[in-house]
Amino acid sequence: MRLRQTLLVYLVPLMLLPALLFGVLAIKFSQSFYWQQANLKASSFLQQQQLAIHTELMQLSIQLQDLTSSGQLMDYLAAERAEPQLLLEQWQRRLQPFAAQQASIKLVRLNGATELVWPIISDTLPSARFQQRHLARLQGMIQEELLFFATEADASEPRLFIARKVYNPSAANSDTRQLWGYLVLSLEPEAVRKILQQSLTPGSISLIISPAATIAFSDRLPLIGSTFAPSHFRTIQQSIQQQDMVPGTLLGQPMLLKGAELPGGFQLLLGINQQELMAATRFQPWVIGALLVAIMLLLPFSIYGLLIRHVFTPIRKLTQAKTAVGRGDLSTLLPVSKQDELGDMFAAFNVMVRQLRVYRERERAYKQQLEDKVLKRTQDLARANDDLAAANQELIVARETAEQASRLKSVFLANMSHEIRTPLTAIIGFSEQSVQTENPEQIKDYQLRVLKSSQHLLNLINDILDLSKIEADKLELQQQPYCCLEIIDDVYQLSLTQAKAKGLDCELQLRFPLPKQIVGDEVRFRQVLLNLVSNAIKFTEQGRVEYELMAQQLKISVKDTGIGIAPAELSRLFQPFVQADATVTRHFGGTGLGLCISKKLIQQMGGDIRVDSVKGVGSNFEVILDCTGMSIELVQSYQAPQPQQPAALVNEQCPLHILVAEDNPDNQLLLGILLQQVNASYVMAVNGHEAVEKALSEDFDLIFMDMQMPTMGGEEATGLIRHAGINTPIIAVTANVMSEDIERYKASGCQDVLSKPIDQQQFLKLVQSYRPDQPQSDHREFERRLAEDPVVQALKNNFRERLPDLVQQLVQSSAAERWQQLAFDAHSLKGSAGSMGFQQLTELAAELELQAQQQSAQACQQLVTRMEQIVLEELTDV
Residue 872, domain CATH: 1.20.120.160
Distance in angstroms (rounded) separating the CA atoms of residues 313 and 320: 11
Per-residue pLDDT, 469: 58
Per-residue pLDDT, 201: 85
**Whether 802 and 734 share a structural domain:** no
pLDDT digits (tens, 9 = 90+) for 135-189: 888 888 888 888 888 887 666 788 889 999 988 887 656 667 788 889 999 888 8
Is residue 652 scored above 50 in pLDDT? no
Is residue 123 scored above 50 in pLDDT? no
On the question of a cis peptide bond just before residue 119, with omega within 30 degrees of 0, the verdict is yes
Q: Judge contact between 851 and 860, C-beta under 8 A.
A: yes
Per-residue pLDDT, 710: 82
For residue 245, which phi and psi values (nearest 5 degrees)? Answer: -70, 145
The count of structural domains within the chain is: 6
- Count the Cβ atoms, other than its own, within 10 Å of residue 499: 21
Write the DSSP assignment of 671-692 as a string of letters.
Answer: HHHHHHHTT-EEEEESSHHHHH
Residue 744 located in a structural domain: yes
* 465 or 193, greater pLDDT: 193
On the question of a cis peptide bond just before residue 513, with omega within 30 degrees of 0, the verdict is yes
Q: Are strands 205-209 and 267-272 parallel, antiparallel or unpaired?
A: antiparallel
Is residue 267 scored above 80 in pLDDT? yes
pLDDT digits (tens, 9 = 90+) for 418-460: 567 656 766 776 787 788 788 888 788 777 777 766 766 776 6
Least confident piece of the model among 424-433, 599-608, 837-846: 424-433
Residue 559 located in a structural domain: yes
Distance in angstroms (rounded) separating the CA atoms of residues 510 and 492: 12
Is residue 295 scored above 70 in pLDDT? yes
Q: How confident is the model at residue 762 (pLDDT cuts 50, 70, 90)?
A: confident
Per-residue pLDDT, 783: 52
* 782 or 728, greater pLDDT: 728
What percent of the chain stands above pLDDT 70? 82
Distance in angstroms (rounded) separating the CA atoms of residues 26 and 735: 92
**Whether 797 and 770 share a structural domain:** no
Q: In sequence order, what are the beta bridge partners of 281?
A: none
Residue 623 located in a structural domain: no
DSSP symbol at 84: -
**Whether 764 and 807 share a structural domain:** no
Distance in angstroms (rounded) separating the CA atoms of residues 311 and 326: 22
Per-residue pLDDT, 163: 92
pLDDT digits (tens, 9 = 90+) for 527-554: 788 888 887 787 776 666 565 665 556 7
How far from each other are the two terminal CA atoms of the chain, in whole angstroms?
118
- State the alpha helices, DSSP H only, in 752-789: 760-769, 779-788
Helix (H, G, I), strand (E, B) or coil at 215: strand
Is residue 659 scored above 90 in pLDDT? yes
Q: Which among 53-62, 240-249, 604-613, 780-789 has the top mean pLDDT?
A: 53-62
At which of 357, 386, 404 does a domain end?
Answer: 357
Per-residue pLDDT, 645: 42
Residue 486 located in a structural domain: yes
**Whether 270 and 297 share a structural domain:** no
Residue 665 located in a structural domain: yes
Residue 444 located in a structural domain: no
Q: In sequence order, what are the beta bridge partners of 255?
A: 248
- The widest CA-to-CA distance across the chain, in whole angstroms, is 163
Residue 317, domain CATH: 1.10.8
At which of 220, 245, 277 does a domain end?
Answer: 277
**Whether 152 and 220 share a structural domain:** no
Average pLDDT value over all residues in the chain:
79
**Whether 238 and 117 share a structural domain:** no
pLDDT digits (tens, 9 = 90+) for 469-481: 565 555 667 778 8
**Whether 509 and 591 share a structural domain:** yes
**Whether 168 and 136 share a structural domain:** yes
Residue 517, domain CATH: 3.30.565.10
**Whether 109 and 203 share a structural domain:** no
203: domain range?
43-57+199-277
Residue 756, domain CATH: 3.40.50.2300
Q: Judge contact between 520 and 625, C-beta under 8 A.
A: yes
At which of 306, 341, 357 does a domain end?
Answer: 357
Residue 328 located in a structural domain: yes
Least confident piece of the model among 336-350, 446-460, 594-608: 446-460
Residue 38 located in a structural domain: no
Distance in angstroms (rounded) separating the CA atoms of residues 455 and 423: 9
**Whether 521 and 566 share a structural domain:** yes
**Whether 239 and 265 share a structural domain:** yes
Distance in angstroms (rounded) separating the CA atoms of residues 166 and 64: 11
pLDDT average, residue stretch 74-84: 77
CA angle 270, 273, 276 (to 5 degrees): 120
Residue 224, domain CATH: 3.30.450
Q: How confident is the model at residue 327 (pLDDT cuts 50, 70, 90)?
A: confident
Q: Are strands 145-150 and 159-167 parallel, antiparallel or unpaired?
A: antiparallel
**Whether 835 and 767 share a structural domain:** no
Helix (H, G, I), strand (E, B) or coil at 749: coil
How far, CA to CA in Å, does 33 sit from each of 36, 370, 563, 573? 5, 76, 114, 100
Distance in angstroms (rounded) separating the CA atoms of residues 358 and 367: 14
